[in-house]
């Protein structure tokens, strides 16, 4: 069997430069689960220019392992091109000749924002001491960023998957600050199946001997194997069975024989995606952010999902993907109906990842949202 070279060493943040800017919160952040985060920083990037009325700002929210680099080429600190590069820029759906686009790295992440790998008050990495943060906490931190940027109301908030959770939370918790919202391949609350899919991922990370209870940042090795297993499990849920059947079938990986310990082509594909992730993402952040997705429920403490959706005043466009087995279409339909929004369907063989792949269809939804 062959595969990518092993990743060694504990997690270390990469080059912090690139296009990132930095926002430090004005004080402690009160947390939904109780207690507070004594201080925090959000990394973010912007494109375009804020107009004199601060009325042309659009907030774009990334998914679980995304970051602030939504557009542009690979740069120092940004090893990959922007994940929505086809949508953000001059003349594109999010036209930066007209709009001011803001993309923050989520609280709890590892690409410049405060998370488990960040120094705590004593100078050591937070590690296992990092508090539980919810989607609501993440939105509260982003609201402070908006205040600092002078943005009282977003012309639009858009996001897919975990980013869709935050976009919806903005529209529910701060309706007066959101003119329109685009929720892609997401849900109003995590389902039993979605939580169930994450359970073996979290167990894989925590069972890795290099996890050290979450306090591995000063160790010689990090829980790369566990994170790689988690990514393999997750990536299967991000694509569709018909796509995997068409692309790989039961073919062996070139030059390998499964009867003699070699891999199938689909196994090599999963190995590739696992290797990419463990080289750029922190296992501690993966755990923290996965748990924030598991606890996502816009109806908590608000009388239930229907009552919470009734708080939305923004023009809402909600789209699901017809081949998405992780966030099925009925969840998008529930949001659209409850928020009085427009329900759309992205038709694609690529499953959940279609919100990152189907640029033409997503661009049409953005244009519809912005009128």
Please give the positions annotated as active site.
161, 324, 352
Residue 147's contacts (CB-CB under 8 Å, 6 or more residues apart) are none
Q: How far apart are CA 100 and CA 171, in angstroms?
A: 19
- First-to-last CA distance in the chain? 53
Beta bridge partners of 306: none
Reference 169, options 371, 27, 42, 335; nearest CA is 335
Provide the CA 355 distance to its chain's centre, in angstroms.
12
- Cα Rg of the chain, angstroms: 20
Q: How far apart are CA 335 and CA 350, in angstroms?
A: 22
Reference 62, options 165, 189, 211, 205; nearest CA is 165
Helix (H) and strand (E) counts for the chain?
11, 12
Residue with tokens 């897919």: 160
Which of helix, strand or coil describes residue 299?
coil
What element of type H or E holds 22? strand 21-24
């Amino acid at each position: 069997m062959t595969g990518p070279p092993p990743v060694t060493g504990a997690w270390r943040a990469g080059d912090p430069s690139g296009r990132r800017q930095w926002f430090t919160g004005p004080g402690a952040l009160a947390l939904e689960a109780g207690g507070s985060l004594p201080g925090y920083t959000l990394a973010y990037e912007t494109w375009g220019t804020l107009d004199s009325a601060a009325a042309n700002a659009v907030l774009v929210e990334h998914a679980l392992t995304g970051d602030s680099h939504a557009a542009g080429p690979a740069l120092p600190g940004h090893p990959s091109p922007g994940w929505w590069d086809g949508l953000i820029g001059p003349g594109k759906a999010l036209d930066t000749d007209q709009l001011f686009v803001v993309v923050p790295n989520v609280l709890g992440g590892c690409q410049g924002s405060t998370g488990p790998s960040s120094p705590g008050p004593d100078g050591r990495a937070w590690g296992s001491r990092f508090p539980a943060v919810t989607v609501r906490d993440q939105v509260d931190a982003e609201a402070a960023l908006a205040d600092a940027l002078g943005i009282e109301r977003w012309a639009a908030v858009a996001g897919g998957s975990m980013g869709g959770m935050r976009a919806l939370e903005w529209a529910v918790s701060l309706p007066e600050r959101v003119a329109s919202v685009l929720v892609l391949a997401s849900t109003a609350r995590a389902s039993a199946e979605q939580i169930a899919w994450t359970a073996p991922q979290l167990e894989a990370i925590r069972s890795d001997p290099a996890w050290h209870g979450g306090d591995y940042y000063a160790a010689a090795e990090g829980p790369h194997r566990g994170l790689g297993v988690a990514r393999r499990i997750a990536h299967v849920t991000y694509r569709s069975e018909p796509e995997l059947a068409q692309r790989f079938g039961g073919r062996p990986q070139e030059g390998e024989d499964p009867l003699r310990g070699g891999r199938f082509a689909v196994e090599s594909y999963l190995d590739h995606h696992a290797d990419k992730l463990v080289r750029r993402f922190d296992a501690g952040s993966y755990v923290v952010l996965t748990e924030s997705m598991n606890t996502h429920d816009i109806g908590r403490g608000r009388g239930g999902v229907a009552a919470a959706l009734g708080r939305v005043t923004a023009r809402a466009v909600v789209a699901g993907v017809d081949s998405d087995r992780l966030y099925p279409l009925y969840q998008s339909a529930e949001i659209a109906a409850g928020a009085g929004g427009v329900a759309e369907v992205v038709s694609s063989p690529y499953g959940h990842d279609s919100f990152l792949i189907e640029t033409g269809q997503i661009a049409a939804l953005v244009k519809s949202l912005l009128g």
